[in-house]
């Protein structure tokens, strides 16, 4: 998907869709986000007060002042603790969009408004030699896009809006962020879970925060789906897989993030959490598709539930690690632990149903059932041989009873853990699900329990986890949203970028001589002076090999094709022609691009949608100073082609 560089196309998304949702709209999720923004601002205020009080406490030697400041610090710390508890409760609002068993969605990171008008105008004037005021429209359009992406709608349009802004950041980075100089702009973002503010001058922090919000928005879309229907389950699976992909992409491409929510440990936890929620949806999908109560189906459901239990156990282990334990909301850790125990109980319940409710296999069905059952348990149960077990109803009942006993124990453990968390106790739907599953297992146990059973019910072996659909981590597809460089008028990005420097524009007046103008041309957008004939008009006027033609008789030629520039030169009369040219500094070769150490974005950062969209074409030689083969989206220099060197007729 190649970006059109000329004519100018504003965006592949209609402008009506490139708007954020109304921040005052009274939807459940928008109310939560509005409360989150308010709490973040209060946390920021309290932290600034605490920092000032701590500085005063260290600086003063007056005992009375120290006591007053210490008292004030205790008040501030108390307020901060209350605000963080309120934010934790907000992050625990899992049932806002939920229709089925609640999933865990993430709130969006909040950011402050950013005024780029003056910094970008100054940079355009200083670096590009253009009047900054002439680009106010483009700057304001970018700022409006940033403002809109702060409140994306909770649907595909909101995702496209975030993607559009993320893709525009590539152009902004290339145009206005040189590797050796800061623009002097700070990007402020709040931690998604703690509300602690962070700021950096690195544009990579802005990119990472937007990418985090793309993943967070996917979690909200997944959590709001009606998982009682097959289409809703498929959409939830897709959303959580894309969320896992966004967080994984962030984890692999960023380092030294200033906020905890973008640290390696936190992102690793979020990826595992999303994968676990995908696996839970796969189990729910299987219960919808396989409603029949035959032996093999019940075994598959048991193994699928065991797989869900395994992935949630892994998430719980990750959440209880030292670097994550104090950061993750307690309700999240409890919910994950509850689900781990709940699905282990379900796996044993379905195993009991397979053994007790399904008819004994016929001779024709026995080989297939033996093959499935031999791989069903982690360790084979004690007792008779496999064939006898499958064909003897009494032996099946005994093993089924053992599985039910274990299921009931795990149901009770899940309910006990659930009761430890005040926030989870408020979730009626979760409590109903746990209670229903527990009663169902108790009822089945009472049904198969006989008064004459004098044997002690054994311990059922664990069930081997197995899934028919492994979760897929889907990396963000940046190419799905086409964007156009808002600052297209500055010229092709191959030359007119922040990393390139050139000498001031020279205006050269040429008169056609007996041998023409005395130079040859090569390439497109912008056209390059490939050679200057010694002693000719061009040589005497000061034109050099490697100069770029940016105007002819006042007409802007930065984006002009080779043939267009030739035609302009041919059409000149006796009065001659005025050519505007620039010369790149350090044109002896490309310079290495340095990375900002505080937050590094790897070379994979360039969105797929932007590759090859910088105005370069294969074979456009003679601009090696403007290209670095390591920089994605820019093609390496091509050798000169005789066919590309054109000398104007009669020149």
Q: List pLDDT tens digits, range 420-436.
A: 998 888 888 889 999 99
User: What is the C-alpha separation between 399 and 128, in angstroms, rounded?
Assistant: 79
Residues 462 and 347 both lie in one domain: yes
Does some domain include residue 3? Answer: no
State pLDDT tens for residues 329-348: 999 999 999 999 999 999 99
Tell me which residue of 184, 45, 188 sits closest to 114, measured CA to CA.
188
Q: What is the rounded distance in angstroms from the CA atom of residue 336 to the CA atom of residue 318?
A: 11
Q: How far apart are CA 612 and CA 632, in angstroms?
A: 8
Does 332 lie in the same domain as 422?
yes
Is residue 212 located within the same domain as residue 316? no
The residue-averaged pLDDT of 579-607 equals 52
The mean per-residue pLDDT over the stretch 144-169 comes to 94
Residue, of 33 and 324, whose pLDDT is higher? 324
Residue 609 DSSP label: G
pLDDT confidence band for 90 (50 / 70 / 90): low
Q: How confident is the model at residue 647 (pLDDT cuts 50, 70, 90)?
A: very low
- Stretch 182-201: mean pLDDT: 89
Please indicate, yes or no, whether residues 354 and 444 belong to a single structural domain of this protein: yes
pLDDT digits (tens, 9 = 90+) for 549-564: 988 888 888 898 988 8
Is residue 195 left, alpha or beta, with left meaning phi > 0 and alpha meaning psi from -120 to 50?
Answer: left
237 & 319 share domain: no
Closest listed residue to residue 467, CA positions, set 215, 282, 239, 232? 282
Q: Is pLDDT of 644 > 50?
A: no
pLDDT computed for residue 650 by the predictor: 39
Is 282 domain-assigned?
Answer: no
> Are residue 295 and residue 270 in the same domain, yes or no?
no
Helix (H, G, I), strand (E, B), or coil: what is residue 353? helix
In contact, 615 and 559? CB cutoff 8 Å:
yes
- 421 neighbors 387 (Cβ within 8 angstroms): no
Which of 49-58, 245-254, 486-495 is predicted least confidently?
49-58
- Supply the mean pLDDT for the chain: 80
Contact 211, 607 (CB under 8 A): no
pLDDT grade for 651, boundaries at 50, 70 and 90: very low
pLDDT in tens, 391-404: 888 888 889 999 99
Question: What is the rounded distance in angstroms from the CA atom of residue 283 to the CA atom of residue 103?
Answer: 14
Mean pLDDT of 271-287: 96
Residues 452 and 503 in one domain: no
Instruction: State whether 236 and 357 are in the same domain.
Output: no
Maximum pairwise Cα distance, the chain: 120
- Least trusted range by pLDDT, from 53-62, 543-552, 620-629: 620-629
Contacts of 428 (CB under 8 A, 6+ apart): none
Q: Is the pLDDT of residue 202 over 60?
A: yes
Confidence grade of residue 604 (pLDDT, cut at 50, 70, 90): very low
Beta strands in 247-340 (DSSP E): 254-255
pLDDT at res. 379: 86
Percent of the chain's residues with pLDDT above 90:
42
Q: Regarding predicted confidence, which is higher, 92 or 637?
A: 92
d(CA 26, CA 271): 31
DSSP characters over 369-418: HHHHHHTTBSSPPSSS-HHHHHH-HHHHHHHHHHHHHHHHHHHHHHHHHH
Confidence of residue 69 (pLDDT cuts 50, 70, 90): confident
In a domain, 125, yes or no: yes
Q: How confident is the model at residue 143 (pLDDT cuts 50, 70, 90)?
A: very high
pLDDT one-digit tens code per residue, 348-357: 999 999 999 8
Task: DSSP letter for 179, please.
Answer: T
In a domain? residue 20: no
DSSP 8-state assignment for residue 11? B
Between β-strands 527-532 and 548-552, what pairing exists: parallel, antiparallel or unpaired? Answer: antiparallel
Nearest to 103 by CA among 435, 430, 474, 471: 430
Rounded-to-integer distance, Cα 163 and Cα 255, Å: 21
Closest C-alpha to 369, from 383, 384, 388, 350: 388
Residue of 573 and 294 predicted with greater confidence = 294
Residue 191: count of CB within 10 angstroms of its CB? 21
With 0-12 / 13-18 / 19 or more C-beta atoms within 10 angstroms meaning exposed / middle / buried, residue 357 is middle
Residue 474 has pLDDT above 90, yes or no: yes
Q: Of 442, 476, 510, which residue is a domain's last?
A: 476
What CATH number corresponds to the domain at position 245? 1.25.40.280
Q: The tokens 């009991």 sit on which residue?
A: 352
C-alpha–C-alpha distance, residues 539 and 533, integer Å: 7
Determine contact, residues 397/355, Cβ cutoff 8 Å: yes
Buried b (16+ CB within 10 A) or exposed e, 380-396: ebeeeeeeebbbeeebb
- If asked whether residues 390 and 418 sit together in one domain, one would say yes
CA distances (Å), 489 to each of 7, 113, 170, in order? 11, 26, 16
Q: Which helix (H) or strand (E) holds 355?
A: helix 330-356
Is 193 part of a structural domain of the chain?
yes
Q: Is residue 50 over pLDDT 80?
A: no
CATH of the domain at 586: 2.30.42.10
- The more confidently predicted of residues 580 and 408 is 408
| Both structure tokens of 464 | 């081997």
Query: What pLDDT score does 626 carry?
Result: 34
Share of the chain above pLDDT 70, in %: 79
Which candidate, 523, 531, 530, 590, places its Cα nearest to that of 563? 523
Q: 176 pLDDT exceeds 70?
A: yes
Band of pLDDT at residue 116, cut at 50, 70 and 90 = very high
Q: How many CB atoms lie within 10 A of CB 326?
A: 9
Q: What pLDDT sits at residue 512?
A: 80
Q: Is residue 514 part of a domain?
A: yes
* Polymer length in residues for the chain: 651
pLDDT of amino acid 408: 96
Q: Which residue has the higher pLDDT, 614 or 173?
A: 173
Angle 481-634-257 (CA atoms, 0-180°, nearest 5)?
65
305, 407, 288: which is closest to 356 by C-alpha?
407
Residue 10, domain member (yes or no): no
Residues 356 and 220 in one domain: no
Q: Let me know whether 365 and 440 are in one domain.
A: yes
In this prediction the pTM is: 0.78
Residue 333 maps to a domain: yes
> Where are the alpha helices (H) located in 131-229, listed in sequence order?
136-149, 156-176, 203-223
Domain boundary among 476, 504, 533: 476
Same domain, 214 and 250: yes
Predicted confidence (pLDDT) at residue 227 exceeds the cutoff of 70:
yes
Q: Which domain holds residue 319?
A: 290-476
Q: Find all residues with CB under 8 Å of 618, minimum gap 6, and list them.
A: 635, 638
Domain count, the chain: 3
Domain end residue (candidates: 275, 298, 314): 275
């Amino acid at each position: 998907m190649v970006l059109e560089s000329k004519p100018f196309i504003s965006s592949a998304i209609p402008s009506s869709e490139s708007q954020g949702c109304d921040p005052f709209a009274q939807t459940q999720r928008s109310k939560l986000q509005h409360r989150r923004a308010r709490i973040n601002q209060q946390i920021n205020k309290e932290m600034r007060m605490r920092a000032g009080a701590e500085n005063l406490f260290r600086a003063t030697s007056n005992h009375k002042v120290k006591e007053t400041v210490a008292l004030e610090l205790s008040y501030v710390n108390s307020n901060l603790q209350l605000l963080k508890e309120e934010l934790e409760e907000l992050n625990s609002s899992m049932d806002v969009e939920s229709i089925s068993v609640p999933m865990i969605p993430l709130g969006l990171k909040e950011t402050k408004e950013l005024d780029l008008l003056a910094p970008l105008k100054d940079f355009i004037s200083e670096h590009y030699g253009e009047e900054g005021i002439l680009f106010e429209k483009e700057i304001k359009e970018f700022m409006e896009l940033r403002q809109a992406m702060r409140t994306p709608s909770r649907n595909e349009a909101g995702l496209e809006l975030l993607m559009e802004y993320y893709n525009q950041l590539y152009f902004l980075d290339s145009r206005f962020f040189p590797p050796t100089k800061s623009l002097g702009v700070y990007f402020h973002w709040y931690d998604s879970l703690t509300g602690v503010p962070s700021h950096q001058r690195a544009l990579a922090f802005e990119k990472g925060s937007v990418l985090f919000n793309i993943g967070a928005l996917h979690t909200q879309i997944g959590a709001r789906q009606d998982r009682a229907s097959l289409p809703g389950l498929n959409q939830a699976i897709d959303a959580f897989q894309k969320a896992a992909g966004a967080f994984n992409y962030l984890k692999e491409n960023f380092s030294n993030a200033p906020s905890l929510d973008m640290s390696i440990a936190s992102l690793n936890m979020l990826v595992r959490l999303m994968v676990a929620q995908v696996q839970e949806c796969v189990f729910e999908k299987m219960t919808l598709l396989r409603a029949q109560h035959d032996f093999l189906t019940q075994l598959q459901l048991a193994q699928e539930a065991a797989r869900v239990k395994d992935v949630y156990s892994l998430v719980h282990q990750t959440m209880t690690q030292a670097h994550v334990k104090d950061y993750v909301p307690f309700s999240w850790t409890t919910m994950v632990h509850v689900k781990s125990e709940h699905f282990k109980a379900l796996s044993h319940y379905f195993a009991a149903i397979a053994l007790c409710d399904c008819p004994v296999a016929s001779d024709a069905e026995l080989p297939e059932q033996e093959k499935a059952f031999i791989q069903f348990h982690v360790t084979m149960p004690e007792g008779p041989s496999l064939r006898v077990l499958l064909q003897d109803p009494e032996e099946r009942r005994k093993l089924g009873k053992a599985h039910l006993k274990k299921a009931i124990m795990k149901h009770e453990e899940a309910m006990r853990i659930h009761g430890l968390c005040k926030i989870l106790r408020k979730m009626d739907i979760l409590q109903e699900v746990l209670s229903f599953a527990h009663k169902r297992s108790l009822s089945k146990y009472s049904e198969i329990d006989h008064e004459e059973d004098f044997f002690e019910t054994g311990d059922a072996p664990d069930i081997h986890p197995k899934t028919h659909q492994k979760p897929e981590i889907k990396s963000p597809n940046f190419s799905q949203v086409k964007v156009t460089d808002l600052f297209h008028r500055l010229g092709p990005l191959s030359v007119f970028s922040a990393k390139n420097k050139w000498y001031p524009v020279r205006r050269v007046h040429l008169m056609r001589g007996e041998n023409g103008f005395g130079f040859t041309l090569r390439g497109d957008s912008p056209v390059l002076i490939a050679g200057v004939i010694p002693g000719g008009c061009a040589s005497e006027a000061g034109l050099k090999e490697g100069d770029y033609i940016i105007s002819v008789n006042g007409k802007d030629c930065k984006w002009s094709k080779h043939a267009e520039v030739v035609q302009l030169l041919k059409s000149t009369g006796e009065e001659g022609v005025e050519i505007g040219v620039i010369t790149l500094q350090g044109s002896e070769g490309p310079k290495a691009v340095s990375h900002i150490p505080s937050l590094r974005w790897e070379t994979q950062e360039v969105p797929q949608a932007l590759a090859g969209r910088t105005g370069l074409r294969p074979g456009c030689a003679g601009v090696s100073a403007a290209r670095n083969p390591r920089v994605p989206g820019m093609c390496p220099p091509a050798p000169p082609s005789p066919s590309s060197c054109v000398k104007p007729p009669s020149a």
